[in-house]
Structure 1
Amino acid sequence: MPILAILIGLLYLSHVEAQPAWVREDLMENCYFNWTVRDRFQRMPMTMGNLIGLIKKVERQPIAYYWDVFTMAANLLRRFQIDGLQFLPLNLGGSIICALHWMLSHSLNDTRRPEEVEGCHDRDGRHKRHAKGRNTTPDYEKSFHPLEYGVVYTDYGTVAAGQVLMGLAVRDRVANVKVADLFRDKSEIVKYLNSEIKMEGWNPIRNNEQRERMQSTVITAYYAATIAGDLAKTAAYDAASANGSQQLIGPSGTWNSLTRMGEHEQVNETSSSRLYPSEYALADEMDRVSHATHAELYGGIDGLLLAVRIKDWNSCSLKLSQILEMYYSDRGVSLNTDRVFGACNRFNLTEAYRAELSSQTHAMAYALYVESFGLLRPPRGSSIISRINESVQKVLQQYWAFVEQSKATSCGTMCRDSKNHPPAPNVDLYVIFDMDGSEQELLEAKEVVVDLVNRLNLAPMGTNRVALNISDNRRNTSTSVFDLGQEFNPGGFAFKLLKTDFRNVSSSFDFGDAMAQVRRRFQEERKFERDQNLGGTNGKVVLFVVPSSKPESSDKGVGTMENMVRDFTNDFPEIPLLFVTKDAGWDRFAKTPTCVAMRVFRNTGERLYRDVIENVPTRMVYPGCGQSISDGKDNIFIGLLVPGTTRYMMYHGSRLNGSENLVFKVKAHDSTSNLTVCWGRYVLDFGRLQPEEDGCGNTSDAKRDKKVMIELKHPCSRNRECDPIYISVRVANDFHPSKEPVCLDAATCHFPDQIQYSVRHSGMKCK
């Protein structure tokens, strides 16, 4: 295969048009012939978080476990993108395979959708569903707002995900090539490049210089496969157009969030596209859609930036999911960099490649034009080279204007201040869901839970459990139907919760029985902590979601239920009980700082996280408490800290009330890390987290073993109530991140730059 065909093929992988079903048997059978999976109302959310979660699932497959970043990106594209498919024995479900396919395969669909036609109730519109390219003549009703597929939602703009992976896939595998070498098998083009033909209106000297420069120009694969390819394709089509176009980039679009409750239920369109982005509708009709939509530009920029910098990192010890998760966070990739390197800063970062981008776009546009249209003179006169130059200059002018506008309106203020260390709670969430209520009430309540889970740090050493319990009338008990287990994918949780039919679930809800089961659950966990001699666990939160029911029980009165809540908060004071409901009757249970009642509104998930969950510290435990003898022996907790965040830990006062000389030692396991450790004591209140600092210290200042020592004499004396002790750990402001990953255990490390630390105590006694 000629080198040009390879490069053009790589470029076109970023501009995939829908293919006939018969040429792609595997994906077609799973994703297009299966109407249950194909149904647009039953798809997984199109988010970067969901894509990362599914990539993690692939990374855990035996065949993929040792793939580096380049191999993983290339194989994902070959397996799931609509061009270049290959068979890989990945044990994934049909919905996961199709979700990866739809998120990585870029195409446009300008078929008018049923909701765009007044009075049309055909939800699926199967007889009208045809994806078309940007340069074809439609023979059907056109949409006013075509759908752009192969794009995913991020907090930093919608991104064509396939192009991000393409930059990484070709970074290590395709050699650079001169433009002249691309056409060695096409004699007429070679003759043209080497000739000194004088054409009317040409300046022979100038054009010969242009030819020589063009012949010697090197096309770099990762430029061609990312942003330079986007801009070059737009310029090539503009040069070949009889009329040209004033708008050569764009448009943007808006997300729709579609939910269908059950196979035969009415379609609901939720108002919050952030929770469950399903379809991306462009702002303009197909005739005004360029070959470089904003999503393609975002993906092209990100693909280029990652391709350029990936060589600076030790890619052998990194996972693709880790790179993407850091890059699309507010702190960026912190390895070997002195500035925020992430999507939040993409438009400032791309400035460094302005000159090279211009050169690459010129060369690629010239190659694309000659390959696609031959040596025909452009319809608007002039020479091929001159016409290409004019189109490229126009495209680049609009592109850099787009960059400057984007700097001013979005990403410039979205990166986290490096001196700001927000809390990073690791919280296990237990949701008890009452299914009594109207469909709209249930949908709003589910969205609260989805919004909350989206904000949690789902990771093996982070939030590693989200359990949802509902009533089941066949067994008259609560059954755990959703447990993320090892999934760590909020998109997967949202898919299960919002797309599952709960019509067979009982509408009755017994609060007394639910509280009894919650108590039994945490009694079992407390026994497990003692048996395993644990030094600490994730914070625990119990969330009752009751859209419309009153607090009722078949055999317990309101007073008894109030006593059950009071007894639970006394026995498990560090576990908050939250009630999200529309009925004011639940307010009677919110009488202590650890019990909170909120009404169901669209921003309730955000409020729950901001006002409660974010303030829940790690539960520091002592197995000796509750035993017949509490001897004060050493106990240790080992945690992981993400640079740029703060970890808060709490020892409840009940674990201190027999202590006399209590000592805590906090240490970073990496000797090069410098941690700031602070401590303080105050009354337990989940609305307040920052300690009234009794003291702070840095591990680098410690004289021995780089430990910060916290000493408390008689912490529960007669003159002071036994308040909890809070300990916070963060990276010191003068600490610079490591150039190499320091956290390499894939089973525990969420990010490669996490810092392991330990908290050891001695002298702790409980009465």
Structure 2
Amino acid sequence: MYWLLILLVAIAGCTHAQLTAQTSVAPELRECYLDPLLVNRNNLPPSTIQVLIDIIQKIEDNSDVNVDLRQLSALVLHTLIPSNLQVLANTTLNSSLKCAIHHMLSTTVDARVRGDENTCNQLSQYRALRTARSVNDDVEILNLAQIKSATHGNMRQYDPNDDVEFSNYGGSKSEKQLLGESQCPLLDGVAFTDWGAVSTGNVIAGIAAGAQLQQVPVVELAKGSVLNYNNVQQTVTSIYPATLSGDLAEAVLIQGTDRGSPSIAIGTAGNWNSSQAHRHYMLHSRVNVEMTDPEIRGDIDGFLLGSTITNALNSYSSLRLSQLLDMYYSSRNGVFNADFRACNRRSLSQQYITSANLVGETYAFAAALDTNMPLRGTIIGGLESLVNSAVTNFQSYTSSNLNDLSCLTSDGQSPDYRLKTNLYIALDSSWQYSAVYPAIAYLLDAIEVGKFGSSATLLSAFDGSIVVNTTFSPADFHSNYTLLKHQSMLTGVNLETSLTNIRLMMQESLRNESLRNYVGGNSTVLLYLINSGNIQNNEAVWEQARQLNNTVPDLRIIFATATNQFDSLWNLVRDMHNDIKTIALSSTGTNVEIVMGSVLERIQQRTRQFDDFVEPGYINFYAISPNYFFEQNDNRRLRVVRSSSGVGSLVICHSRSVVQPSGNIEIFLQNPCDGFWTINSCPPLYLSVQSNTGGAAATSAVCTDSPTTSDIKSRSRSWDVSVGLAVLELVSSSYSLLS
């Protein structure tokens, strides 16, 4: 993105800051292009908005990083799209996460021939080979002669010194890597969201520019050169070149000179290599890629967020960058307003982006950019008419071609509760990694593994040993569960050994919680993903499963097997008809959502529990295991206290038999297990806490969660516009391991 060099003017608040921008990869990032493990994208976390938010949260939680939203949005761009201004310390993130966020923020087009162009929709195992940029350009460009001499179908390493294409125009370097032979080039700098692929560097740039809004003189952008066009406004508003007018101006200048087109083409569609393992975004065309679909979405989102960031900070002065992104790319609520979210992008762009302003800003920025951008010709027919064409086509394309998920559809598909569980996956490593990894990635996304949501732990089905430690970080999970890690796992399934070790691990965790006088947390699901046939089950196995079911509160064991194993496994689960699933995972990782849908549905039924913060329009479902009230105590009661201010009211209900209670029921916990001889037979206490705001939009935000706490009790979304903080206290409780 050529305009990013100019964008530093707005971000850094220095009219000459663009002169300091580096145009090759910084030394701290070269390992991302030279280290074979990091070059292979399959060893990096997938490019999703959840992973990006997670990595930004890690930066924000780092004790050595003490900056606000305005500063961090600029620092992230300076570090990962290098300049010699202030940057984040190289130790802020590990190498895997540093390279992952760099690739999510740095827009490039890789048009090298890969030999798999006839199967562009099935590139789940494609490995992108990159080299460090050694030339003065913001994108990766290749030697055309070298490309043409490449052996068809074979990957090859490129010499960094060859990583440049010289044109015939005075030896100047190409602005975009467009002369490759691939019919579906790879677009970098893209993240998956439920509302379309987004160029996230554009989003962060818009936020950074909006957080420090400036009117920048056009003559400063022209670096003292004489403008060649009349009727150009004297200043540009910094948020425009950071987003919309930056890409539009680039399209105008390249298409208007190199291709001599009177009509500027806007928009290039594409698709991900996998429906779940989102690592490579492939464009459907290699021409007119100056403003692709992900860039359009990123420009709009960055412009919208940048335009409203001041108001958002007025509502919540300590708002974090990760929280802002989390609210906007959320299926509900939005940025302090249910209408202000990504699923409403189309109507928001019509509301906030006017054609007249966009034409004026684009014309001014294109005139300035024309003075210092190497081009292969001159404008034919007038710059202003080309700008008008670009803006008209942008408005038309945005309205008609970006058929992204709408808020109406999102609301219909999204539950009114948060999915929160501690998911333990006991994995049979005889699965092909290419088949089982997308299935696991799908589950992690669906249950919202994250700092304020669910956790994930990967175990061996052979002996219950830990493969990936319990983590609330999707980025950490994906960084640790790689093909090499999968291949190093012990092969086979031993239920007796694995259940024994898993039971001991979970009981030790419960004892630690008891010592801290802590009662509660996410529900627990143990999912066995089994590919092997003829699973051995005997009395010793059954005894371990019985103890695990009886001693871990509200645990649910679920089996997902490649072949029908019902006759072998039915006595190990609580509900034999619903807790044993047969799944057919393909080696290409396709149809994961359909195949794993029934497994997810069963997990979801165990996760509607324990969320301290009550969000507007949401219902929190809790379940209190009989382990906490099995023994008699006449003073035992449940206390729900509203501990913070907020709009609306709380409706609290409970039941001993209805999992999602509604209506007003008197809470009664004296002798709650009368008539039941075992813990497993005594029903839990089900509780719901519902917010009632009357549909009013929030005008302020309430947050009592410390941003640095790591206690499980505080793992709720700290950005929530809370109706109130409902604190549940089980008075005179005692935890029992009786079986």
Report the CA distance shift for 1:399/1:137 in structure 2 as closer, same or farther (over 3 A): closer
Contact persistence 2:523–2:606 (CA under 8 A) = no
Q: Specify the alignment match of 1:724 in structure 2.
A: 684
Q: Specify the alignment match of 1:690 in structure 2.
A: 660
Instruction: After superposition, give the CA deviation of every residue in 1:568-592 in whole Å (9 maximum; x if it has no partner).
Output: 3344462100111123335543355
Contact persistence 1:450–1:493 (CA under 8 A) = no
Q: Specify the alignment match of 1:668 in structure 2.
A: 642
Instruction: After superposition, give the CA deviation of every residue in 1:688-727 in whole Å (9 maximum; x if it has no partner).
Output: x423x3527xxxxxxxxxxxx7346765566999533211
Report the CA distance shift for 1:360/1:332 in structure 2 as closer, same or farther (over 3 A): farther
Q: 2:529 aligned with 1:564, yes or no?
A: no
Q: 2:583 aligned with 1:600, yes or no?
A: yes
1:22-171 superposed matches below 5 A = 23-27=24-28, 29-64=30-65, 66-82=66-82, 88-91=88-91, 92-116=93-117, 122-126=154-158, 130=163, 142-171=181-210
**Whole-Å separation in 2 of the counterparts to 1:100 and 1:32:** 14
C-alpha deviation, 1:304, in angstroms: 0.7
**Whole-Å separation in 2 of the counterparts to 1:292 and 1:253:** 12
* SS, match of residue 324 in structure 1: helix
* SS, match of residue 250 in structure 1: coil
Q: 2:376 aligned with 1:392, yes or no?
A: no
Contact persistence 2:42–2:482 (CA under 8 A) = no
Instruction: After superposition, give the CA deviation of every residue in 1:544-580 in whole Å (9 maximum; x if it has no partner).
Output: 122114322xxxx624323432343344462100111
Report the CA distance shift for 1:247/1:522 in structure 2 as closer, same or farther (over 3 A): same
* SS, match of residue 303 in structure 1: helix
**Whole-Å separation in 2 of the counterparts to 1:183 and 1:149:** 28
Q: 2:655 aligned with 1:681, yes or no?
A: yes
Instruction: After superposition, give the CA deviation of every residue in 1:201-241 in whole Å (9 maximum; x if it has no partner).
Output: xxxxxxxxx73xx344x310011110122122223344445
C-alpha deviation, 1:343, in angstroms: 1.4
Q: 2:727 aligned with 1:753, yes or no?
A: no
Q: 2:494 aligned with 1:455, yes or no?
A: no
Q: 2:246 aligned with 1:233, yes or no?
A: no
* SS, match of residue 523 in structure 1: helix
C-alpha deviation, 1:647, in angstroms: 1.7
Instruction: After superposition, give the CA deviation of every residue in 1:428-462 in whole Å (9 maximum; x if it has no partner).
Output: 12222222x2x53x542333222111222334453
C-alpha deviation, 1:397, in angstroms: 1.6
Contact persistence 1:551–1:586 (CA under 8 A) = no
State the AA in 2 paired with 1:600: I
State the AA in 1 paired with 2:61: R
**Whole-Å separation in 2 of the counterparts to 1:668 and 1:27:** 48
* SS, match of residue 729 in structure 2: strand
C-alpha deviation, 1:322, in angstroms: 1.4
Report the CA distance shift for 1:736/1:665 in structure 2 as closer, same or farther (over 3 A): farther
Contact persistence 1:147–1:281 (CA under 8 A) = yes
Report the CA distance shift for 1:181/1:4 in structure 2 as closer, same or farther (over 3 A): farther
Q: How many residues align?
A: 657
Instruction: After superposition, give the CA deviation of every residue in 1:81-107 in whole Å (9 maximum; x if it has no partner).
Output: 156676542313222222222111111
Contact persistence 1:334–1:341 (CA under 8 A) = yes
Instruction: After superposition, give the CA deviation of every residue in 1:284-334 in whole Å (9 maximum; x if it has no partner).
Output: 12xx22321111111111111111111012265122111112211112533
Q: Does 320-329 or 564-573 show the bigger shift? A: 564-573
State the AA in 2 paired with 1:516: T
**Whole-Å separation in 1 of the counterparts to 2:460 and 2:152:** 36
**Whole-Å separation in 2 of the counterparts to 1:654 and 1:160:** 49
TM-score, scaled to structure 1:
0.76
Q: Specify the alignment match of 1:470 in structure 2.
A: 460
Within the candidate set 166, 175, 180, 2:214 is matched to 175
* SS, match of residue 507 in structure 1: coil
Contact persistence 1:247–1:290 (CA under 8 A) = no
* SS, match of residue 144 in structure 1: coil
Contact persistence 1:562–1:589 (CA under 8 A) = no
Contact persistence 1:110–1:147 (CA under 8 A) = yes
More strand by share: 1
State the AA in 2 paired with 1:90: N
Q: Does 126-135 or 660-669 show the bigger shift? A: 126-135
1:420-569 superposed matches below 5 A = 422-435=416-429, 437=430, 440=432, 442-463=433-454, 465-470=455-460, 477-485=463-471, 488-552=472-536, 558-569=538-549
TM-score, scaled to structure 2:
0.79
State the AA in 1 paired with 2:426: I
**Whole-Å separation in 2 of the counterparts to 1:694 and 1:28:** 57
Q: Specify the alignment match of 1:302 in structure 2.
A: 301
1:371-382 superposed matches below 5 A = 371-372=372-373, 378-380=379-381
Specify every segment of 5 or more residues in structure 2 that has no aligned partner in the other structure, as ranges.
12-20, 120-150, 167-172, 585-591
**Whole-Å separation in 2 of the counterparts to 1:242 and 1:719:** 81
**Whole-Å separation in 2 of the counterparts to 1:130 and 1:421:** 49
**Whole-Å separation in 2 of the counterparts to 1:761 and 1:255:** 48
Report the CA distance shift for 1:141/1:758 in structure 2 as closer, same or farther (over 3 A): closer
Report the CA distance shift for 1:594/1:5 in structure 2 as closer, same or farther (over 3 A): closer
Contact persistence 1:659–1:766 (CA under 8 A) = no
Contact persistence 1:641–1:730 (CA under 8 A) = yes
Instruction: After superposition, give the CA deviation of every residue in 1:135-158 in whole Å (9 maximum; x if it has no partner).
Output: 569898611111111112111111
Q: Does 104-113 or 116-125 show the bigger shift? A: 116-125
Report the CA distance shift for 1:182/1:253 in structure 2 as closer, same or farther (over 3 A): closer
Specify every segment of 5 or more residues in structure 1 that has no aligned partner in the other structure, as ranges.
12-19, 194-209, 257-272, 381-386, 620-637, 697-708
Q: Specify the alignment match of 2:667 in structure 1.
A: 710
**Whole-Å separation in 2 of the counterparts to 1:22 and 1:236:** 20
Report the CA distance shift for 1:371/1:644 in structure 2 as closer, same or farther (over 3 A): same
Contact persistence 1:317–1:741 (CA under 8 A) = no
* SS, match of residue 460 in structure 2: strand
State the AA in 2 paired with 1:294: D
Report the CA distance shift for 1:185/1:104 in structure 2 as closer, same or farther (over 3 A): same
Instruction: After superposition, give the CA deviation of every residue in 1:607-652 in whole Å (9 maximum; x if it has no partner).
Output: 3222333433437xxxxxxxxxxxxxxxxxx923344432211123
1:1-12 superposed matches below 5 A = 6=6
Whichever of the two has the greater Rg, that structure is: 1
Q: Specify the alignment match of 1:648 in structure 2.
A: 621
Contact persistence 2:556–2:606 (CA under 8 A) = no
Q: Specify the alignment match of 1:416 in structure 2.
A: 411
Report the CA distance shift for 1:713/1:561 in structure 2 as closer, same or farther (over 3 A): closer
**Whole-Å separation in 1 of the counterparts to 2:165 and 2:283:** 14
Contact persistence 1:103–1:151 (CA under 8 A) = yes
**Whole-Å separation in 2 of the counterparts to 1:36 and 1:162:** 24
* SS, match of residue 500 in structure 1: helix
Q: Specify the alignment match of 2:140 in structure 1.
A: none
Instruction: Give the % identical residues.
Output: 21
